[in-house]
Amino acid sequence: MRLVHAADGSVASPDDRTTLATQIDLADSLLAQTRGLMFRRSLPENFALAFRFDDASTRDVHMLFVFVPLDVIWVADGVVQRVEQLRPWRGFAREHADTILELPAGAAAGVEPGDEVALLEE
């Protein structure tokens, strides 16, 4: 699985997209979603944690017990709604989304609201 980004809104075109992460973990259970990246002391450069939900709703991200800074991307229907860099222990943000992506700080540089992102099966 790969996380790709297209600033022009066309992740379907391989020529127009960049890869943000190639090591994707899915938070696909309630326990995994609750734990998130808490207690992790480091993250690989090409890593992302993906939270996928059945519908779009206001979704919170907190940094309690998270030891590393994160770039967080809120996505609704494949379109980036918000990008925020959150600090360890103190960060908190919320936005409307059906997918939340957590990456190492700096990995989402250049990703802006209105861009497209997608998780591609390989």
pTM of the predicted protein model: 0.94
For the domain covering 2-10+21-120, report its CATH number: 2.60.120.1140
Instruction: Report d(CA 88, CA 86) in Å as an integer.
Output: 7
Helix (H, G, I), strand (E, B) or coil at 85: strand
Domain spans, the chain = 2-10+21-120
Kindly state the average pLDDT of the residues 25-40.
93
Instruction: Report d(CA 91, CA 24) in Å as an integer.
Output: 22
**Which amino acid appears at position 90 of this protein?**
R
Confidence of residue 122 (pLDDT cuts 50, 70, 90): confident
Instruction: Report d(CA 55, CA 50) in Å as an integer.
Output: 15
Q: CB within 8 A of 35, min separation 6: which ones?
A: 27
pLDDT score of 48: 98
pLDDT score of 13: 75
